Amino acid sequence: MSGHEGDQQVWTESFSEKVRTEQREDDTAAWNAVTGLLMTIISIGLSLALFTVWVCM
């Protein structure tokens, strides 16, 4: 048994299905927020880099 499987079992035994669902939804919302922020930063950086190349030509 790996450590992850043991953690899963403890998590399942410690929380009700409703709480686990809420935790998954919260994790999903947080992941989407972080990913969205990072994609925004990358998009702005790429746009500025392309603009700089265009200005220098």
Q: DSSP H helical segments within the chain, as ranges? A: 3-14, 17-56
pLDDT at 11: 82
Distance CA 51, CA 47 (A): 6
Domain that holds residue 23: 18-56
In this predicted model, what pLDDT tens digit does every residue of 1-57 receive, in sequence order? 455 677 788 888 888 999 999 999 999 999 999 999 999 999 999 999 999 999 998
Domain assignment of residue 49, yes or no: yes
Calculate Rg over the CA atoms of the chain.
21
Q: What is the pLDDT of residue 1?
A: 47
In a domain, 50, yes or no: yes
Q: Structural domain tally of the chain?
A: 1
Identify whether 8 is part of a domain. no
Query: Does residue 23 sit within a domain?
Result: yes
Say if residues 13 and 21 touch (Cβ distance below 8 Å): no
Tokens (6 digits) for 53: 């190349």
